[in-house]
Amino acid sequence: MHQAKTTCPYCGVGCGVTATVDDAGTLSAVEGDREHPANFGRLCVKGSALHETLGEQGRLTRPRVDGVEVSWEAALSTIAERLNTLRAEHGNHSVAAYLSGQLLTEDYYVANKLFKGFLGTPHLDTNSRLCMASAVAGYKRAFGADAVPCNYEDLEDAELIVLVGSNLAWNHPVLYQRIKVAKERNPLMRVVVVDPRVTDSCEIADLYLGIKPGSDAVLFNGLLAQMAAKRKLDHIYLERHTQGLDEALSAAQQTAGSVAEVAAACEVDAERLETFYYWFASQLHVVTLYSQGVNQSSSGTDKCNAIINCHLAGGKIGLPGAGPFSITGQPNAMGGREVGGLANQLAAHMDYDTPGAQDLVSRFWATDNLEPSLPNGPGYKAVELFDAIERGEIKALWIMATNPAISLPDTARIRAALEKCPLVIVSECAADTDLLPYADIVLPASGWSEKDGTVTNSERRISRQRGMLPPPGEAKHDWQIICELAKRLGFNEAFDYAHPHEIFDEHARLSGFENSGVTQRLFDISGLVGLGLDGYDALAPIQWPVTAAAPHGTARLFEDGEFATLDGRARLLPITPRGPEKALSEAYPLRLNTGRIRDQWHTMTRTARAPRLMNHRAEPFMEVHPEDAAQAGVNDQALGVLTAATGEYRARVRVSNAQRRGEVFVPIHWTDRFTGNARSSALIERITDPVSGQPEAKHGAVALAPL
């Protein structure tokens, strides 16, 4: 028997896990790692069932080409041949990749390097686009970098925590527990929940604001206006460290109005709203924690900046217990961003418009004398990418560790695009997913407990995932698959890694490469260069930046008031609130909200393997307000159908007073494998935020009827 420390593969909390492998080679138990700073020994129900989701049954074990099992040699040679043909006929930009926040940073790094650096295509995006893109864009606009200022200890040090569009109790349970305990220890701590639905997170709320869906920016513009009216702006901080107050305030005053007007626009009680504004304005140590309820919107980036504006205006940032704090949905959404895994990024937190970035990356990867050269502009973001496939512009797509046939909006259209794509390659762990029928080539990949690498959680903490078990059958690690293909394409030297620690080392070197002067990047982990295998194996969780000046990492950003903009000042942005783009109509009178449930993860490929995780919610459902149910003629526990312009969703009705009148909630997890027709994304249209490209998954328009 032996034990190993690793990291939970589910959510962005990034809990440390101690796993026990028994003498028979079975990973037989898991417990929370008491030394890991994310969770100090806690695990949620999903994390504590990790060992129950393992085993070879249901796993992909051999590569397949055109439905026939083949050797790796044959599969990779076929991919190389078909990619070369398509590139020769249609150009380098005809190939694309769609990655995942489930990948480890090392997998992500080599994929980004191959596609952007050596295949010369900018079209590499990730499912983090569905999760964090608006938060990223909001940070960049305000701070000059995709940089989360806070850490989890700030949640314990805060006097006020504002949860916006986040059911933390279900989606990030260990953080919820940390806040709950901190609140018990400090009775003066207050929690405000801003959410159209009454969720389990309201259990710790001192104040609940059940806002009209999509009215978050009005709420925070109103807050900024009230802070000014009550003389609660921190003018010294604003003067020294920011720009843009006048424009931001003027926009807030013009669009929000009085407290009564904001309350009416957000459909909340004016007295409660005033209390929230008073609490926020009068406390210094405030953390605003936000998640998909803010991000998954056609104005998600603006909503993020409306929140950040209020923190900058009050100087509530860069201090213990203070700051805007986006909580990541996926385990490694942040690691993917670090290597450049978004289509608008190049590498190591450099965008295409970062001065000198192309030349710098080109020299670092030694692609400067290569043909093709690095792309000189951004590629297609997730939804655009599938549009380009539909148009016939993208001819080859490699999908790794994600299932766009379920998770992207308007899945019927996504599936039609995949049917049309001449070459679809899928790297995957599970043998039976809704995506595999669309794949020409299927590659078996290793999974959690088998692969070695790093992930970065919501507080910028890099942690090791450690391999303890051999991959089943002939499955390989994603980084190996990518590198083996790269070598077949002729890029031997650049992809000649023997172990992920060598990839991590290169990633760390690139982060610090010529990183100085006016274009200095905040993401810098050059302090982790040269760890070697032993150092990498022993790497303890650490928060970036990690540099010579900060060898033990950086717990909190912007403590000195210096931001990552060219002039070092943060930006307040003028925000004009916009509601959901899809208007309600007679045909589709109800607002659709989608989200996770407590015990399931994504499309349930892992969590459905643990029977006890099915007990919480055993089947798909739709949650409806009693009056909406009565109006539609559906009863509690009866079967209902939701119809949208793009498709329909059939499931059991749960009538609940926790729902707002006029809004329906459906879970995102169920797929065609489990049920005939309960795919939430079939109801979501291809509407995205113009800045971030994140789909508006929280604001569909549907009709309800009995089945």
Residues lying near ligand SF4 in the complex (CB under 6 A): 8, 10-11, 13-15, 39, 43-44, 46-47, 172-174
Helix (H, G, I), strand (E, B) or coil at 620: coil
What is the DSSP-derived secondary structure letter of residue 114?
I
Distance, CA of 106 to CA of 507 (rounded, Å) = 8
Rounded least distance, CB 202 to ligand SF4, Å: 19
Nearer to ligand SF4, 30 or 417 (CB): 30
Nearer to ligand SF4, 11 or 343 (CB): 11
Rounded least distance, CB 611 to ligand SF4, Å: 18
Rounded least distance, CB 322 to ligand SF4, Å: 23
Nearer to ligand SF4, 327 or 339 (CB): 327
Rounded least distance, CB 152 to ligand SF4, Å: 11
Phi, psi (degrees; rounded to nearest 5) at 137:
-65, -35
Q: Which residues have CB under 8 Å from 451's CB, separation 6+?
A: 104, 107, 465, 467, 471, 477, 478
Nearer to ligand SF4, 381 or 606 (CB): 606
Rounded least distance, CB 287 to ligand SF4, Å: 18
Tell me the residue nearest to ligand SF4 as measured from the CB: 47
Q: Which residues have CB under 8 Å from 487's CB, separation 6+?
A: 495, 496
Cα dist from 236 to 180, 241, 278, 576, whole Å: 34, 8, 20, 26
Rounded least distance, CB 460 to ligand SF4, Å: 15
Phi, psi (degrees; rounded to nearest 5) at 520:
-55, 135
Rounded least distance, CB 10 to ligand SF4, Å: 3
Distance, C-alpha 382 to centroid of its chain: 13
Nearer to ligand SF4, 172 or 381 (CB): 172
Nearer to ligand SF4, 174 or 191 (CB): 174
Nearer to ligand SF4, 63 or 331 (CB): 331
Nearer to ligand SF4, 173 or 471 (CB): 173
Rg (CA), the chain: 24
Helix 300-313 to helix 133-143 angle (10° resolution) is 40
Helix (H, G, I), strand (E, B) or coil at 515: coil
Nearer to ligand SF4, 582 or 596 (CB): 596
Q: How many CB atoms lie within 10 A of CB 586?
A: 6
Rounded least distance, CB 634 to ligand SF4, Å: 33
Rounded least distance, CB 449 to ligand SF4, Å: 14
Nearer to ligand SF4, 13 or 273 (CB): 13
Rounded least distance, CB 154 to ligand SF4, Å: 17
CB 306 within 8 A of CB 249: no
CA-based nearest residue to 101, from 7, 8, 10, 15: 10
Return left, alpha or beta for 450; rule: phi > 0 is left, psi -120 to 50 is alpha, else beta.
Answer: alpha
Phi, psi (degrees; rounded to nearest 5) at 460:
65, 25
Distance, CA of 651 to CA of 669 (rounded, Å) = 13
Cα dist from 390 to 333, 385, 590, whole Å: 27, 9, 30
Nearer to ligand SF4, 120 or 329 (CB): 329
CB 672 within 8 A of CB 649: no
CA-based nearest residue to 112, from 298, 386, 365: 365
- Complete edge-to-edge strand list for the sheet that includes strand 423-428: 68-69, 64-65, 441-444, 423-428, 396-400, 95-99, 124-126
Phi, psi (degrees; rounded to nearest 5) at 592:
-100, 130
Rounded least distance, CB 38 to ligand SF4, Å: 7
Rounded least distance, CB 325 to ligand SF4, Å: 15
Distance, C-alpha 47 to centroid of its chain: 18
